[in-house]
Amino acid sequence: MSAAPRPIGVREYARRRRELMRLAGGDAAILLAAAPPRLRNGDTYWPYRQDSDFLYLTGCGEPQAVLVLLPGRKAGQSVLFCRERDATAERWDGDWLGPEGAVRALGVDDAFPIADIDDILPGMLEGRARLYCHFGREAAFDAQLLAWLRRLRAPPGAARAPQEMLALSHLLHELRLFKSPAELALLREAARIGMDAHRAAWSALRPGVQEHAIESTFLHAVRSAGACASYPPIVAGGRNACVLHYARNDAPLRAGDLLLLDAGAEWQGYASDITRTVPVDGRFSAAQRALYRLVLEAQQAALACIRPGRSWEAFHLAAREVLVAGLCALGLLAGTPQQALARGDYRRYFPHKTGHWLGLDVHDAGDYRIQGEPRLLEPGMVLTVEPGLYVAPDEALAPARYRGIGIRIEDDVLVTADGADVLTAALPRHADALEDALAQARAAR
């Protein structure tokens, strides 16, 4: 087995900050806050997850921190405000970085205690023409920001406050859309761990097992690899697969049904997003196999459209064309494919798009359109390709044998210089290959 990829180094974070400052311009300031801890209930918090933008620019996993980027500032362009070390608090929380540790470990130019931010930050913004920030994302941070600006504008001798407030996301998310070699290594590792965890889940699959038992096997595999789930797994047996965001995972899996498992791993902040749909008892029925083949053909048609210069929409349209033609041929839609497309009633079976960007977020940052037009794919972008068909149990248009079947096939794909690299290609997706893999998984237990 190859060694785990190296974590992203401080030089890459510094390069990202420099690039963002270059895009923002010399008279700008950029402000970005760490994610606040989120209460689950009472005094119990959800596991902390850093804001992906903050993580992208700092590599810092601590809450109560603010990054300030000040292009051209002589005393240091990258400034971090963070918690001061506190022996009493660290007995409860574990080690904090502290400002000195932040300069050492994160490679920022300068760092100050977060407790001093109200005194120090307004002066840093003075004379900057433009301020880039995520205004409207966190109410508490918005209020703090307004207070700093009020201080700057207050007479007497009102200082020069930034005149323009601009959305940081346009600049920053365009950077995040193009993955560096170091990021790609982490995405590949997230894909590898996710694929292994799907295989582990298959080895626990048999009629009578509960959906949550499959979930726990998946999570066990992911956590055993030192990763975590990149989103709550969807473990949907039979008709539950027709509920697109099924989350209960509390039903028994029955012979004759399919299991749709949509679950991925997060490795050092980077996500995989993988769906396989497999027969609970190891064999697809004829009706399941017919729909499965259709979804697979749609995915293959979509994958053939992933290369530089093709539009963001092309692969969705290719998948849709195959699905609609197949639904007409199998008698789930009336008339010709052209008529079905014009009516739009294919959406009752295929209500979602065929993919999304993938990176630090499962639904990653980055515009899908530029000036209203679908953008063109470029090398370094990573996306999912995930057509599906979902025939509701009470779907009057469908022959009875297809009702209650939900199928999705989802893979993670890198746009390369001349085509596509499917990061999750090692996990079987042809119906025969899946049956073989399930038989092997069963034999091994």
Q: Is residue 390 annotated as a catalytic residue, yes or no?
A: yes
The answer to whether 264 and 420 are in contact (CB under 8 A) is no
Q: Is residue 408 annotated as a catalytic residue, yes or no?
A: yes
Sketch the per residue contact string, 337 through 356, with ligand GLY: x for CB under 6 A, - otherwise. -------------------x
Interaction residues for ligand GLY, span 387-426 (CB under 6 A): 410
Minimum distance, C-beta of residue 351 to ligand GLY, in the bound complex (Å): 13
3-state helix/strand/coil string of 233-279: CEEEEHHHHHCCCCCCCCCECCCCCEEEEEECEEECCEECCEEEEEE
Tell me which of 220, 310, 352, 430 is the catalytic residue. 352
Q: How far is the C-alpha of 66 from the C-alpha of 84, rounded, in Å?
A: 13
Minimum distance, C-beta of residue 184 to ligand GLY, in the bound complex (Å): 20
Our finding on whether 386 is near ligand GLY (CB under 6 A) is yes
DSSP 47: P
User: Buried b / exposed e across 25-37, counting CB within 10 Å, b at 16+?
Assistant: eeebbbbbbbbee
Our finding on whether 262 is near ligand GLY (CB under 6 A) is yes
The residues that touch Mn ion, with contacts defined as CB under 5 A, are 262, 273, 384, 410
Q: Is residue 402 annotated as a catalytic residue, yes or no?
A: no
Instruction: Look at residue 411 and give the partner it binds from Mn ion, ligand GLY, none, a contact being a CB closer than 5 to 8 Å depending on partner kind.
Output: none
Tell me which of 363, 369, 373, 378 is the catalytic residue. 363
Instruction: Look at residue 231 and give the partner it binds from ligand GLY, Mn ion, none, a contact being a CB closer than 5 to 8 Å depending on partner kind.
Output: ligand GLY
Q: Is residue 53 annotated as a catalytic residue, yes or no?
A: no
- What is the spatial order of strands in the sheet that 270-271 belongs to? 228-229, 265-267, 270-271
Q: Is residue 257 annotated as a catalytic residue, yes or no?
A: no
Instruction: Look at residue 23 and give the partner it binds from Mn ion, ligand GLY, none, a contact being a CB closer than 5 to 8 Å depending on partner kind.
Output: none
Q: How far is the C-alpha of 60 from the C-alpha of 51, rounded, in Å?
A: 10
Q: Is residue 410 annotated as a catalytic residue, yes or no?
A: yes
Token pair of 178 as six digits = 């193009």
Residue 238 or 387 having the CB closest to ligand GLY:
387
The answer to whether 437 and 428 are in contact (CB under 8 A) is yes
Of the candidates 13, 187, 201, 200, the residue with the CA atom closest to the CA atom of residue 102? 13
Q: Is residue 356 annotated as a catalytic residue, yes or no?
A: yes
Tell me which of 53, 196, 410, 412 is the catalytic residue. 410
Interaction residues for ligand GLY, span 265-304 (CB under 6 A): 273
Residue 121 or 319 having the CB closest to ligand GLY:
319
Interaction residues for ligand GLY, span 228-247 (CB under 6 A): 231
Distances (CA, A) of 13 to 5, 40, 55, 225, 390: 16, 31, 9, 25, 42
Single out the residue of 166, 362, 422, 425 in contact with ligand GLY (rule: CB under 6 A): 362
Tell me which of 206, 293, 356, 401 is the catalytic residue. 356
Q: How far is the C-alpha of 205 from the C-alpha of 439, rounded, in Å?
A: 10
Token pair of 434 as six digits = 């899946």
Q: Is residue 13 annotated as a catalytic residue, yes or no?
A: no
Of the candidates 20, 4, 6, the residue with the CA atom closest to the CA atom of residue 178? 20
Query: Which phi and psi angles does 284 have, rounded to 5°?
Result: -70, 140
Tell me which of 386, 395, 411, 412 is the catalytic residue. 386
Q: Is residue 292 annotated as a catalytic residue, yes or no?
A: no
* Interacting residues with ligand GLY (CB under 6 A): 231, 262, 273, 356, 362, 386, 410
| Residue positions annotated with a catalytic role | 43, 245, 262, 273, 352, 356, 363, 386, 390, 408, 410
